[in-house]
Amino acid sequence: MGFPIIRPRRLRRTSALRNLICETRLNRSDLIYPIFIDERVQKPIPIESMPEYFRLPIRYVIKEVRQVIDLNIKALILFGIPSKKDEIGSQAFTTDGVIQRTVRVLKREFGDRIVIITDVCLCEYTNHGHCGVLKEGEVDNDSTLEILQKVAVSQAQAGADIVAPSAMMDGQVKAIREALDDSGFIHTGIMAYSAKYASSFYGPFREAAESKPEFGNRKSYQMGYENSNEALREVELDISEGADIVIIKPALPYLDLIHRVKEKFKVPVAAYNVSGEYAMVKAAAQKGWIDEKSAILEILTSIKRAGANLIITYFAKDAGQWLD
Ligand code: PBG
């Protein structure tokens, strides 16, 4: 008698069997929904490079968030586009800045029914589009830290549950933790963009947020895509500086890192499924080249399978409608 055929197909025969052995189940509670709030607009403005996505005026945000809550998605990340930009991004930390106003409105309406996360960065607020302040034509780390502290404290004051520093300045998590604690915001969490790559997949976001650098690029602060040990070091530093959650960004080209970070560190890991990843799927789906729903579910599930506990994704509302 020859060796019998081993038959993995046995467990794939019916949908009930496949469901029984399903290893990764995507849930609505895994998803974080990004919202762009534009202080200059009176009605939702479509973002051309992000089909079906809009920049919203503050007064539309309540309606949008009510829909998100009705879909059982319980976390948001907010990005602001101010009416004025300057050298140091001062609209990022004023009490009546676009984000501060939005957070107050949302907290008043929804209280703790939704987790509000705010992006702590300057690129949407500076007239040169860099994530920090300039000194002799370079992005200056330590003077940027002082501004990031003000941004984070002003967002916490408005009611943000979690702040998400995304400028990739050295020491930003430590500086922000200290500033929050000194101002009494010991319960405000930090979700750090620890491993943020200088990626071509941010293109559509930069159109949406009008945050393209006026000169040069972000390679002196964001990481090169060739490296992964460097990302582990960044994650380790951020955890030691007080990060509560760490982010890997983008998601799909960096699934290996999501996996390595999850294996090595015991903190919640978030993956940012960025604007370019969204745009590619939407564009191909519009052409009829891929099936949108199954592609999106496959992508999000693969990010979770790699090890992400949380996924920041522009697909959150789509997926929210499809998941059971
Ligand atoms: C701000 C920031 C960026 C993104 C999130 N926060 C852009 C950048 O670094 O240029 C990109 C998100 C996306 O592409 O979806 N620094």
Task: Choose, from 85, 150, 196, 262, the residue flagged as catalytic.
Answer: 196
14 assigned to some structural domain: no
| Three-class DSSP category at 117 | strand
Question: Which structural domain range is residue 213 located in?
Answer: 24-322
What type of residue is 83? S
Catalytic residue among 85, 150, 249, 262: 249
CA gyration radius, the chain: 20
- The verdict on residue 297 lying in a domain is yes
Q: How many domains does the chain have?
A: 1
**pLDDT tens digits, 72-118:** 999 999 999 999 999 999 999 999 999 999 999 999 999 999 999 99
Assign residue 131 the CATH number of its domain. 3.20.20.70
Task: Look over the chain and give the mean of its residue pLDDT values, rounded to a whole number.
Answer: 97
In a domain, 266, yes or no: yes
> pLDDT tens-digit profile of 25-62?
999 999 999 999 999 999 999 999 999 999 999 999 99
Query: Stretch 112-139: mean pLDDT, rounded?
Result: 96
DSSP H stretches of helix in 137-228 = 141-158, 172-182, 203-209
Give the per-residue pLDDT at 79: 98
207 lies in some domain: yes
- Ligand 1 neighbours, Cβ below 6 Å, are 119, 121, 123, 131, 166, 202, 205-206, 211, 274-275
| Nearest CA among 214, 218, 215 for reference residue 200 | 218
Domain membership flag for residue 231 = yes
Answer yes or no: is 253 within a domain: yes
Q: Looking at residue 1, what is its pLDDT?
A: 64
Among this protein's residues, is 196 annotated catalytic? yes
Q: Is residue 19 part of a domain?
A: no
Tell me, yes or no, if 84 is annotated catalytic: no
Residue 12 lies in a domain: no
Mean pLDDT over 214-242 rounds to: 96
